[in-house]
């Protein structure tokens, strides 16, 4: 069975500083990895995905994520955080097109001005 | 294109009642998934429908059911509501066909409160 761990419930970062939101996964076979963001009282919005190819994936709003197979990680990064990046971030994994996405419990990012 | 539309957005029920939630996917999307989101458990997968057939089912009791219509619209039903069913129910559609991997497009959710 696949699973996702987001080890930090909360990440605080100062505006303008780089941010990292951590994600590790467990899956049999090839992983398909996703990041989503959720703003208050809203649904989830897709940020980026890794299916195959380059280990560094670039997504929306300046976010990027690095796939590391040996460490089974897919950390989300941004070089310079904005206050508007404050939200709840979810990592998700699947191992095929026939299995549902499994989500982590989420990490709340707070960017302080 | 219009996004995923969920109705109602908010509803309050009492224990023992039943509820039906509706989801209209993005036009052309044939896959619809449902998730339950609670503060303690995060997002838990309920079920996925593709072309009116349930393709996957999560680990929820039989009180939770769903269906998909020929126009890809989907409904989920929860019978004999319990306090623990209070949650945000999220619907997501995807353009993926059988065997494809693609991102999910989420609606804004239906927030159910059970008193």
Q: Tell me the DSSP string of chain B.
A: ----EEE-SEEEE-TT--EEEEEEPPTT--EEEEEEEETTTEEEEEEEEETTEEEEE-S--TTEEEEE-TTS-EEEEE-S--GGG-EEEEEEEE---TT-----EE---EEEEE-
B97 pLDDT higher than 80: no
Q: What is the three-class DSSP state of A45?
A: strand
Nearest by CB: A43 against B56, B99, B106: B106
Question: What average pLDDT score do residues B107-114 get?
Answer: 96
Q: How is residue B99 written in tokens? A: 């065997």
- Asked if the C-beta of B39 comes within 8 angstroms of chain A's C-beta atoms, the answer is no
- Inter-chain CB proximity B56 and A100 less than 8 Å: yes
For residue A2, what pLDDT is reported? Answer: 87
| Mean per-residue pLDDT, A12-30 | 95
B110 touches chain A (CB under 8 A): no
Spatial CA neighbour of B37 closest among A109, A100, A106: A106
Least confident of A6-20, A65-79, B96-110: B96-110
Tell me whether residues B42 and A94 touch, CB distance under 8 A.
no
| pLDDT exceeds cutoff 80 at A35 | yes
| B102: pLDDT strictly greater than 80 | no
Q: Are A42 and B6 in contact (CB under 8 A)?
A: no
Residues B10-61: pLDDT tens digits?
A: 999 999 999 999 999 999 999 999 999 998 888 999 999 998 999 889 999 9
Comparing A107 with A97, the larger pLDDT belongs to A107
**Percentage, residues of chain B above pLDDT 90:** 81
B99 has a pLDDT exceeding 70: no
């Amino acid at each position: 069975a696949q699973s996702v761990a987001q080890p930090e419930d909360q990440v605080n970062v100062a505006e303008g500083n780089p941010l990292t939101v951590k994600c590790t996964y467990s899956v049999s076979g090839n992983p398909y990895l996703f990041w989503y963001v959720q703003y208050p009282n809203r649904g989830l919005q897709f940020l980026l995905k890794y299916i195959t190819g380059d280990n560094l994936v670039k997504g929306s709003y300046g976010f990027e994520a690095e796939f590391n197979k040996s460490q089974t990680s897919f950390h989300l990064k941004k070089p310079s955080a904005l206050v508007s990046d404050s939200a709840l971030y979810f990592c998700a994994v699947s191992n095929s097109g026939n299995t549902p996405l499994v989500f982590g419990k989420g990490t709340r990012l707070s960017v302080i001005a | 294109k219009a996004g995923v539309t969920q109705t109602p957005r908010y509803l309050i029920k009492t224990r023992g009642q039943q509820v039906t939630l509706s989801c209209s996917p993005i036009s052309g999307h044939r896959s619809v998934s449902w998730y339950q989101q609670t503060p303690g458990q995060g997002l838990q997968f309920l079920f996925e429908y593709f072309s009116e057939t349930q393709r996957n089912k999560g680990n929820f009791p039989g009180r939770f059911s769903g269906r998909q219509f020929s126009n890809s619209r989907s409904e989920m039903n929860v019978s004999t509501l319990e306090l623990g069913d209070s949650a945000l129910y999220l619907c997501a559609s995807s353009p993926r066909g059988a065997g494809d991997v693609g991102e999910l497009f989420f609606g804004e959710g239906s927030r159910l409160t059970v008193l």
